[in-house]
Amino acid sequence: MDNPQDFLRSLFDAGVAAANPMLCVPPFLPSPPKGKTIVIGAGKASAAMARAVEDNWDGELSGLVVTRYGFSVQCERIEIIEASHPVPDAAGRAAAGRIVELAKSLGPDDLCIAVISGGASAVLSYPVDGITLEDKQELNRLLLRSGANIIEMNCIRKHLSAIKGGRLAQAIAPARVVTLLISDVPGDIPGVIGSGPTVPDETTFAEASAIIDKYSMQPPKAIMEHLLKAENETPTVGDPVFNNMELFMAGRPKASLDAAAVAAKAAGVRPILLGDDIEGEARNVAREHAEIVLNIIEARENADGPCVILSGGETTVSIKGEGGRGGPNGEYALAMALALDSNKKVHALSGDTDGIDGSEDNAGAMIGPDTLLHAKDAGLDAVEYLENNDSYSFFEKAGGLLMTGPTCTNVNDLRAVLVLP
């Protein structure tokens, strides 16, 4: 193989392309209603989803969608607003309030198309009474450092919100709502994707409080008081507000992983799929995958030709270092490089399909047999950078940052480890 890293990048691109909203949204569009149709939504893919609806809708249409800064896609009939992610800001708070008012304006003959993707939890911030935007911002910072997984994070977020956890559905009723989801969570759980503003919530205040305790977080006083009061539980399965709701999973991580596998086969490389729902500390997952690679090499399972190990899911990082930059994909790649110790047969890529790893401008990172050599030549201590959760700075200096820019979709992480014969 002439250029292993170009090959890995082609697999990543194939996975992202499979989650393009212009391809995966149109098949699930409903028929126009007797009344009016509005499109509302949030998330990193939501603007592109709105454009996909607009381009394939013949009738009257309007609406409002909020996405992450840099992820806007121009629409003619649907207003697109940008807001902050992963820590919410005032723009997202204002947009959420407007979306609730639009929802309340609907009648029984009207249709609401809700386009929701990962990232909605942050950009669609509408705190309950008694909790300020500043409280939510501080909580999000704590969550991002805690090592909590996305299911745990969104359980807490739903119980502090006037729009998440099915509460937007309360505002839409009795109008018909069709929810179109692009999943960024392991297991494709509707109530977790974007914190489920239009779908039933099966979590409770008690669970949210327990997660706070589990990670020894100390959120603002108003947040703990609200959770402990446990008043006005989120609407769950069987609530009448969901009687006129339909839900479709327009994009899934598995579809992107399968697309990468097809691209690998077309290049004559045998794909090995570990699953699209892998979770855990990024560095620990990397070490486990490195062990799989070394076992393949030792058993000569790659003797007849190259193979590529593909996996998806969402790993996490427990921030312990000081001043570190980077996200779970960079941390996975750095830990993988250390675990493989410059093995000459292995190249790897780990990237977030939205193009943003954590809060930096890279999608992730790529490594090869020379990664640690380049680091040594640059005077970098790879172990120290890993311990400081500073993978971005490491790859910025040693080379290997995966730069894609915003992809306007979001189906979680995609990892590819190439084992040469």
Boundary (domain end) residue, out of 229, 251, 273: 251
Report the CATH number at residue 335: 3.40.1480.10
pLDDT at 359: 83
Residues 93 and 159 grouped into a single domain: yes
Query: Does the bond joining 174 to the residue before it have cis omega, within 30 degrees of 0?
Result: yes
How buried is residue 344: exposed, middle or buried, by Cβ count under 10 Å (0-12/13-18/19+)?
exposed
178 and 215 in a single domain? The answer is: yes
Q: At residue 323, does pLDDT exceed 70?
A: no
Q: What token pair was written down for 116?
A: 């929701």
Same domain assignment for residues 294 and 173: no
In a domain, 24, yes or no: no
Residues 64 and 187 in one domain: yes
Asked if residue 351 belongs to a domain, the reply is yes
For residue 303, the model assigns a pLDDT of 87
Exposure string (b/e) for 176-212, b if CB count within 10 Å is 16 or more? bbbbbbbbbbbebbbbbbbbbbbbbbbbbbebbbebb
Mean pLDDT calculated for residue range 131-137: 95
Global pTM value: 0.94
Pair (70, 96) in one structural domain:
yes
Can you give the residue range of the structural domain that contains 218?
A: 31-251
Is the same domain home to 243 and 276? no
Domain boundary among 251, 273, 306: 251
Interstrand relation of 364-367 and 270-281 (parallel, antiparallel or unpaired): unpaired
Mean pLDDT, residues 363-390: 96
Which one, of 333, 329, 340, 323, lies nearest residue 389 by Cα? 323
The 10 Å Cβ neighbour count of residue 25 is: 25
pLDDT over threshold 70, residue 51? yes
Tokens read off for 217: 């977080």
- Label residue 321 by pLDDT band (50, 70, 90): low
| Residue 405 and residue 295 share a domain | yes
**What is the CB-side half-sphere exposure of residue 227 using CA atoms within 13 A?**
25
Residue 292 has what pLDDT? Answer: 97
211 pLDDT above the threshold of 70:
yes
Clarify whether residues 281 and 191 are in a common domain.
Answer: no
In a domain, 25, yes or no: no
Domain-terminating residue out of 232, 251, 270: 251
Are 102 and 222 members of one domain?
Answer: yes
Over 80: is that where the pLDDT of 370 sits? yes
CATH of the domain at 139: 3.40.50.10180
Task: Give yes or no for residue 50 having a pLDDT over 80.
Answer: yes
pLDDT tens digits along 153-195:
999 999 999 999 999 999 999 999 999 999 999 999 999 999 9
pLDDT surpasses 80 at 247: yes
Q: Of 253-262, 315-324, 377-386, which gets the smallest average pLDDT?
A: 315-324
Render pLDDT for 8-18 as a digit per residue (tens, 0 to 9).
999 999 999 99
pLDDT digits (tens, 9 = 90+) for 331-342: 999 999 999 999
The answer as to whether 19 is a domain residue is no
In a domain, 331, yes or no: yes
Longest dimension (CA), the chain: 68
Residue at 194 is within a domain: yes
What mean pLDDT do residues 12-37 have? Answer: 97
**What pLDDT is recorded for position 145?**
85
Answer whether residue 246 is part of any domain. Answer: yes
Q: ω into residue 86 within 30 of 0, thus cis?
A: yes
380 pLDDT more than 90: yes
Question: Is 246 found in the same domain as 327?
Answer: no
**Do 356 and 300 fall into the same domain?**
yes
The yes-or-no verdict on residue 322 having pLDDT over 80 is: no
| Domains identified in the chain, total number | 2
> Are residues 143 and 187 located together in one domain of the fold?
yes
Query: Which whole number is the average pLDDT over 39-58?
Result: 97
Residue 20 forms part of a structural domain? no
